[in-house]
Chains A and B, each alone.
Chain A
Amino acid sequence: MNDFVGTGTLVRLALRRDRLLIPIWIVVFVISAAGSVKASIDLYSDQNALVEAARTSNASPALVSLYGRIFDESSLGEVSLFKLTAFGALLVGLLAGILVVRHTRTEEESGRLELLSAGVLGRYAALTAALIVSAGTVIVLGLVTALALMGSGLDTKGSFAFGLMWAGAGLAFAGVGAVTAQVTESARAANGLTAVVLGVAYVLRAIGDSSADGSTQWVSWLSPIGWSQQVRAYAGDRIVVLLIPLVFLVVLIAAATALIRRRDLGAGLVPPCPGPPQAAASLRSPLALAWRLHRGSFYAWGFAFLLLGLLVGNIASNVDGFVTSDSAKEMVQKLGGVEGITDAFLATEMGVMGLLASAFGIQAALRLRSEETALRAEPLLATGVTRARWLGSHVLMALLGTGALILVAGLGSGISSGASLGNMGRQVPRMLGAAAVQLPAIWLVTALVVILFGFAPKLVTGGWVLYGVFLLIGQFGEIFNLPQWMINLSPYGHTPRLPGGDFSVTPVLWLTAIAAALTVAGFATFRRRDIG
């Protein structure tokens, strides 16, 4: 029992530290869910319109791979919430994983846990406390969501199925966070690894959902996000499916505790090995150092983007397999035939890649601030390195890194869609163009972090908040009937939809110019401010 001494204290400490963060997250989720239902009730006044919308969605490979299938095309609950089923489960999973890492590895890395361990703290106290906080958060989140959905007029059983399937995804990824926090040595790496698992889970369910003939549907069952979808809230309410994430959580907790028994405090699972006693001749500039610091994460992201690109291109070539029913065929004709619908799919997926690549850009630019607060910028700036060169080294990594990532994704999707459609020579340059056109918006969002870093360094994580706001505007702006000026705030909304759509150069130039201006302003303000 001694292994758990102090858990209660740590839980209280964690809740105190997160007393704002957790409620805010919960409120955001609840409002998104209830708001979607409210908007749909207004939108689909008669049942026919609802069924028509659901059919359209199920016939669109872009929407199916992005959000999943609608199992019951006549269910108001499901149709109004299907965009938040898999996608919401992904975000709840992210929250749960981050919470666990935040109260285990982050604490351990900063040495605060060592301070605590010197007092009376059991071996498993930190992990147990983090799991209690994380699991508690997602369960409360699920229950409050269920109540809010009932309040919006949906049936009780379906509402609980929906809230609990979100919680189920959270529990599964709390377990993932528990394990990644043990195997890596830094919180950054642990969160990165959790994000990779989340990404893989999302892609697996996309493969399962996109299976036109049903032959690869089973792949969904390999994914914790797939489990949440298979609860089929408002379309069967199979709550027993949630036993799978529960068992998954128990198994991962067992794995994490086994790992704790085998390692020392502060260490990861992989023992550190000695490195070179001297620096390579190339390690002689801030840029070389920045590359050294970013390259690990860049390679991992690059690999993921290549796979995603290949996958998306491959799904695109099966698009006509979706078109089975007569009404769907009719719709496809309206949308511009098979080529039109394939392009629409590719354009949507490219937009998603742009969003993902922006996350890399934000994270890479935020490295500036973490280097500064960890006092690692100071010794560099006390050498012959000017502030502009140091800042420039990381900004360049962020800008070129996002550029390389999106082009890799474009290349991958061009090759695989071209190979299966038999027109590689046309498809590769088209997809590279579709990728390149995402860059101005990506750079603009990255540049927002740069100017925050120069102008208000303490608020630099606000970059994620802005990103989240842009995401929400893009996802829900139209459903919620936001005024046009608000929708226009998101840079992603101005990106031309390629391939297939109209290309107009004006928005691209504007986005690029704003990104450049923000970056320059970031440099100018950084040169005038105090370090530290």
Chain B
Amino acid sequence: MTSAIVVSGLHKSYGSTHALDGLDLEVATGEVHGFLGPNGAGKSTTIRVLLGLLRGDAGDVSLLGGDPWHDAATLHRRLAYVPGDVNLWPNLTGGEVIDLLGRLRGGLDEKKRDDLLRRFDLDPTKKGRTYSKGNRQKVALVAALASNVELLILDEPTSGLDPLMEEVFRQVIEEDKREDRTVLLSSHILSEVEALCDRVSIIRRGKVVETGTLSDLRHLTRTSIHAELAGSPNGLAQLPGIHGLDVEGNRVRCEVDTAQLDAVMRQLSASGIKSLVAQPPTLEELFLRHYEDDVPAEAEAAVR
């Protein structure tokens, strides 16, 4: 399988802020890749380096087989980008912006443009300054999605969209997926990521800390277990991968690293299981674990 994006060991600092700290990222051709992480983790910075808008301090970046810094303009004809903050020219209409960006990219699909305008319920005759935040976002989305490019780079594309429009966005991406388009989707909306993404990468403080399919990631988190045993439990505390163990007579509550589930179940059944409730991690828990780990560090940074 070929890769649309390969990043390895990427570093980028803004003055004293080390925004990217040895980031590795791989997006396979044809997949929808979720890009998640807390605020300030470095998602937008990564995307800007991928677009050749910023120059990495160290590391290798390859985009569609080329170097995004040196071949920026040529590569850009093969991709479309939706920025995180969309600002339009105050006196150009939405329709003009869509056409202009499409033409500068090398042409856009007229039929798709009209179809998207209808589905996103966007009035293309309004001037840039009069659009609401959500409608500005839609202008950028239509401009990007109406082109038949190989790669879509979307930085929080649904921020500001109402739930109905978010649903339209999902349908459109589903259709693109069927056309084998590659998508890099940075997002904070977990249900969106769960619905669309084949694989995800989680970035924290400038590094990718997890990457894989959603079920791979589930594997890496904890299952919570409530068990009632025939005899008193023993040896549980020594097992690796067990957290928050709480024993009350024959009752056991704990969290288990999903990878260690098998060993823990053996130990439990050695004492005889009378009843058992095992809860797989929800997606929220999965991400929150990665997000929350950041809190102490961030708070520390704030104190300093």
The answer, yes or no, to whether B140 is at the interface (CB within 8 Å) is yes
Q: Which residues of B contact A (CB under 8 A)?
A: 48, 51-55, 72-74, 76-77, 79, 81, 83, 85-93, 95-101, 103-106, 123-127, 129-130, 140, 143
Picked from B53, B81, B99, the residue with its CB within 8 Å of the CB of A279 is B99
How far is A375 from B124 in the complex, measured between Cα atoms in Å? 21
Q: Which of B93, B96, B104, B140 is A380 in contact with, Cβ under 8 Å?
A: B104
The answer to whether A293 has its CB under 8 Å from any CB of chain B is yes
- A383 and B125 contact, CB distance less than 8 A: no
Q: Is the CB of A278 within 8 A of B124?
A: yes
The reply to whether the CB of A381 lies closer than 8 angstroms to some CB of chain B is yes
Beta-carbon contact of A277 and B85 below 8 Å: no
Would A283 and B99 be within 8 Å (CB), given that A530-B55, A532-B54 are in contact?
yes
State how many angstroms separate the Cβ of B119 from the closest Cβ of chain A: 16
Known: A276-B93, A292-B92, A379-B140. A384 touches B74 (CB 8 A): yes
Which A residues have a C-beta under 8 Å from some C-beta of B? 185-186, 272, 274-280, 283-286, 289, 292-293, 296, 374-376, 378-387, 528, 530-532
Could you tell me the distance in whole angstroms from the C-beta of A169 to the nearest C-beta in chain B?
A: 31
A408 to B: closest C-beta gap in Å: 24
A284/B104 in contact, CB under 8 A: yes
Among B53, B54, B104, B127, max chain A CB count under 10 A is at: B104
Q: Is the CB of B127 within 8 A of A379?
A: no
Tell whether, in the assembled complex, residue A384 and residue B55 are in contact, meaning their CB atoms are under 8 Å apart: no
Determine the chain B residues whose CB is within 8 A of the CB of A278 once the complex forms: 95-96, 99, 124
Closest to B54 in A: A530
Closest A-B pairs by Cβ, 3 of them = A279-B99, A383-B104, A274-B125
Contact of A382 among B81, B85, B88, B130 (CB under 8 A): B81
Are A286's CB and B83's CB within 8 A? Answer: no
Given contacts A275-B127, A375-B86, 15 further A-B contacts (CB under 8 A): A274-B127, A275-B125, A276-B125, A277-B124, A278-B124, A283-B100, A284-B104, A286-B104, A376-B87, A376-B88, A376-B89, A379-B83, A381-B72, A385-B73, A387-B72
Nearest to B44 among chain A residues (CB) is: A532
**Measured between alpha carbons, how far is A289 from B105 in the docked complex, in Å?**
14
Complex Cα distance, B89 from A375, in Å, reads: 10
B53 touching A283, Cβ below 8 Å: no
* Cα distance A531–B55 in the bound complex, in angstroms: 9
Partner of A272, one of B87, B89, B96, B127: B127
Q: How far is the CA of A276 from the CA of B55 in the complex (A)?
A: 38
30 chain-A/chain-B pairs, Cβ below 8 angstroms: A185-B129, A272-B130, A275-B93, A275-B96, A275-B125, A276-B125, A277-B93, A277-B95, A277-B124, A279-B95, A279-B98, A283-B99, A284-B103, A284-B104, A285-B104, A286-B104, A292-B91, A378-B53, A378-B83, A379-B143, A380-B101, A381-B52, A381-B72, A382-B53, A382-B79, A383-B105, A384-B73, A384-B74, A384-B77, A531-B53
User: Are A274 and B106 interface neighbours, CB within 8 A?
Assistant: no
Q: How far is the CA of A286 from the CA of B86 in the complex (A)?
A: 18
- When the two chains form their complex, are residues A379 and B101 in contact, meaning their CB atoms are under 8 A apart? yes
The reply to whether B77 and A279 contact each other, CB–CB distance below 8 Å, is: no
Cα distance A296–B90 in the bound complex, in angstroms? 13
- What residues of chain B lie closer than 8 Å to A375, measured between beta carbons? 83, 85-87
Question: Interface centre among A293, A383, A384, A532, by most B CB within 10 Å?
Answer: A383
Q: Which chain B positions have C-beta within 8 A of A286?
A: 104
CB A106 to nearest CB in B, in angstroms, measures 14
Query: Which single residue of chain A is at the shortest CB-CB distance from B77?
Result: A384
When distances are taken between beta carbons in the complex, the residues of chain B under 8 Å from A185 are 90, 129
Closest Cβ neighbor of A292 among chain B residues: B92
Contact present for A384 and B104 (CB under 8 Å): yes
Q: Complex Cα distance A387/B76, Å?
A: 12
Question: Given A378-B53, A530-B53, A532-B54, are A386 and B72 neighbors across the interface (CB < 8 Å)?
Answer: yes
Residues of B within 8 A of A285 (CB): 104
State the Cβ distance, A279 to closest chain B Cβ, in Å: 4
User: How many angstroms from the CA of A272 to the CA of B130 in the assembled complex?
Assistant: 8
**Complex: how many Å from CA A272 to CA B53?**
34
Closest B residue, CB atoms, query A266: B129
CB of B126 to closest CB in A, whole Å: 6
Which residues of chain B have C-beta atoms less than 8 A from A280's C-beta? Answer: 96
Chain A positions within 8 Å of B104 at CB level: 284-286, 380, 383-385
What distance in Å separates the Cβ of A167 from its nearest Cβ neighbour in chain B?
A: 35
Cα(A120)–Cα(B98), bound, Å: 39
Chain A: minimal CB distance from B196 (Å): 22
User: Judging by beta carbons under 8 Å apart, are A381 and B53 in contact?
Assistant: yes
- Measured CA separation A120–B79 after assembly (Å): 46
Q: Report the minimal beta-carbon distance from B184 to chain A, rounded to whole angstroms.
A: 13
CA distance A530 to B129 in the complex (A): 27
B89 near A293 with CB under 8 A, answer yes
Looking at the assembled complex, report how far the CB atom of B78 sits from the nearest CB atom of chain A, in whole angstroms: 9
Shortest Cβ distance from residue B285 to the other chain A in the assembled complex, whole angstroms: 35
Chain B contacts for A385, CB-based, 8 A: 73, 76, 104
Which of A274, A374, A384, A386 has a CB less than 8 Å from the CB of B126?
A: A274
